[in-house]
Structure 1
Amino acid sequence: MRLDKFLKNSRLIKRRTVAKDACDGGRIQVNGQVAKAGTQLKVGDQISIQLGEKEIKVKVTALLEHVTKDDADKMYE
């Protein structure tokens, strides 16, 4: 699954275009490397998101195409 789509589906970032802009700005890393929006994710990847002064670190636990709001937090830990 693409990084920008994962961020939107998991509701870590509200919109896919915002996720793409964050990737293009170098504010998102996957496994310690700056990632592009089209980076393919695998279960177990570590994502680091820098939004302003806040940094979010998550580990991918599931790659789901269609997710309800209640299940979105099960995609990462």
Structure 2
Amino acid sequence: MDQISYAEVEKALKKFRPFLLRDGGDYELIDVTNDGIVKIRLLGACEVCPSSDMTLKMGIELTLSERVPGFKKVEQVY
């Protein structure tokens, strides 16, 4: 399996970022591991939003799975 790159992940997430910014949130890309795990810290309104799990799974994870070959899952870093 080829390792996914930090740049690939950032490029894919740029497509999703406007949705977070519109609601007063954002993200910080913390790490991209060799085994396809992307670690993200949610910022702003997303830090305390009760829907942050949905944002991670149905927004960020779905975006990455569609656009980054080798991506496995997203993990939230606090």
Q: TM-score, normalised by structure 2?
A: 0.31
Task: Specify which structure has the bigger relative contact order, considering alpha-carbon pairs within 8 angstroms and separated by 6 or more residues.
Answer: 2
**Bigger proportion of residues as helix:** 2
Structure number with bigger Rg? 2
